[in-house]
Amino acid sequence: MSENKAVQSYETIPHGSAGFPIGIHNTAYNDGFRLYPHIHREFEFLVMEEGRGVMYINGEEYPIAAGQAVFAGSKALHLGVSADSSPCRFFALVFAPEFLGAGGDDDVFKRFVLPVLSGKITLPAFYSGKEEWERELVQRARDVNSLNSEAIYCKELSIKAEMLELWRLAVSHSSAADRPRAAAADEMVRAMEFIRAEYASPLTLKIMADRVNMSQGYFCRRFSAIMHMTPFEYLLRTRIDNSCRLLQTTDLPIGEVASRCGFNGFSYFSKKFAAAMGSTPLEYRKLHRIAKDSADKN
């Protein structure tokens, strides 16, 4: 197995702190909505504030527009694609299950969080805003987002109170889990994990399909249907992501970066990198070194 395992299929962005495990992330794009395929242990509510797009959660499609929201459960495979090229703004509340309760003998955690975490019940994945309770849930998410930017006493207490009310609204409209749909996504999660562990190796379609015990044709169709990109597009993106990490954090020659990330040759790597990132590998390294030096000085 390859030694290049720094990037896993689980998202590694920190979401809050150990004592207050919630991350509140605001994002804006001028050219359409997008969210790269990923999974994480935390729960996530995503609210669209401007524009529109399409979210996919465990392979299910949810068109989302301004004022609407989606929920991705723990370890749910989720991604977003653009509906058009118009500007968009959205924010995500990403929080550990323990944020809502202490675990152990905590009745709130046992009755209203653990069943969601274990897959016994499923929260609504889409909040259209048509029902009053959906509008209230979205507004409470917005209140959390606003509170996060304020320097006020008891901010953390206010955020937690809002999140508990938001969770109550979602749980009160939960249903029994749909395990067949989740199982289909689990197959692709295993494929993602394998690709991210072995991206530096010369992976073929057969190798990837064999890993999840599928024929090549069926694997390619299933992967494309759930991930909305081919296995090789995902492999290329994984290699590019890892090359960005090496360019930012090491002084390795560009050719060595290409080799460590599974690219056969400097020219091919430079061409694919420029197409994905809008700059050559050397330009990318210089830009991020300048940005880091500036941040260190400040």
Helix (H), strand (E) at residue 95:
strand 88-95
Among 77, 119, 115, 71, CA closest to 95: 71
**CB neighbour list of residue 247: distance below 8 Å, 6 or more residues apart:** 254, 257, 281, 284, 285, 288
Provide the Cα torsion 60, 62, 68, 73; round to 10°. 10
SS3 content of the chain, % helix, strand, coil (to 5): 50, 20, 35
90-110 pLDDT tens trace: 999 999 998 998 766 788 888
Distance CA 52, CA 45 (A): 16
In the structure, how many helices (H) and strands (E) does the chain have?
Answer: 11, 11
- Note the pLDDT of residue 295: 52
Query: Do the beta carbons of residue 7 and residue 262 sit within 8 Å?
Result: no
Rounded to the nearest 5°, which phi and psi values hold at 89? -135, 140
- Note the pLDDT of residue 1: 35
Distance CA 97, CA 118 (A): 11
How many other C-beta atoms lie within 10 A of the C-beta of residue 135?
15
- Note the pLDDT of residue 119: 83
Task: Report all structural domains of the chain as residue ranges with CATH numbers, in order of start.
Answer: 22-177 (2.60.120.280), 180-297 (1.10.10.60)
Low-confidence residues of the chain, pLDDT below 70?
A: 1-14, 103-104, 177-185, 290-298
pTM score, whole prediction? 0.71
- Note the pLDDT of residue 52: 95
- Note the pLDDT of residue 296: 54
